[in-house]
Structure 1
Amino acid sequence: MPTAPLTPAEIEEGLGELPGWAYAEGRLTRGYRLPSHFAAAAFTLHIAGIQDELNHHSDLTLGYRTVSLAVHTHDADGAVTAKDLALAARVTAAAPAHGAE
């Protein structure tokens, strides 16, 4: 069963609780800067674990001292859903432990 897309107002409301996240090109996006490449890699692994736990996966990019995400729901024809906001909230909560800004 497909997940229901959020309205623009629901997306905006959800982003109000997710500092640093934005809605662009039909996806929730966020970039993080970390103190080292190792810290960025560790954060990437942490995010991968969260995604597996939620069974919801983003486009996740590891750079030198950076991690970026782009999140949308495939079974909602690529729209943003509550699953995306839940994933973003979990990543946001995990970020401080890795020194991510």
Structure 2
Amino acid sequence: MPNEPLSQKEIEDRLRELPGWSVADGRLTRAYRLGSHFAATALVVHIAQIQEELNHHSDLTLGYDSVGFAVHSHDADALTERDFALAQRVADIAPGHGAS
């Protein structure tokens, strides 16, 4: 997958496909609420597994019943298709963990 910076329009188009996601400080972000600390931890582990598979890693913040996610491509110093591919995978699995 090419790691070229996305234009502002491309970013806006992709954000429309990811409800609940936003861009803050140049990073693609999302916060999830879960039913318990165990559920939040399980989501973090599942995200870590996906990140290893994609060889693309985000910053994750584990709270008592929450998970914060922030990513951008360091080598491009911008948002790229890789960031949105990772975000889509996270968005696909989060509901299975009870995340909202």
Q: Which runs of 4+ in 1 moved over 6 A?
A: none
Amino acid at match of 1:58: S
The answer for the alignment partner of 1:73 in structure 2 is: 73
**How far did 1:24 drift?**
1.0
* 1:27-85: CA deviation from partner (whole Å, max 9, x where unpaired): 100000000000000000000001000100000110010000111001102x0000000
- Residue-pair matches, total: 99
TM-superposed deviation, 1:19: 0.8
User: TM-score scaled by structure 1?
Assistant: 0.96
Match of 2:35 in 1: 35
Counterpart residue identity of residue 95, structure 1 = A
Unmatched segments (≥5 aa) in structure 2? none
TM-score with structure 2 setting the length? 0.96
Alignment partner, residue 8 of structure 1: 8
The one-letter amino acid paired with 1:21 is W
Q: CA offsets per residue over residues 75-100 of structure 1, 9 Å max, x none?
A: 102x0000000000000000011000
Which residue number corresponds to residue 26 of structure 2? Answer: 26
Segments of structure 1 that go 5 or more residues without pairing to the other structure are none
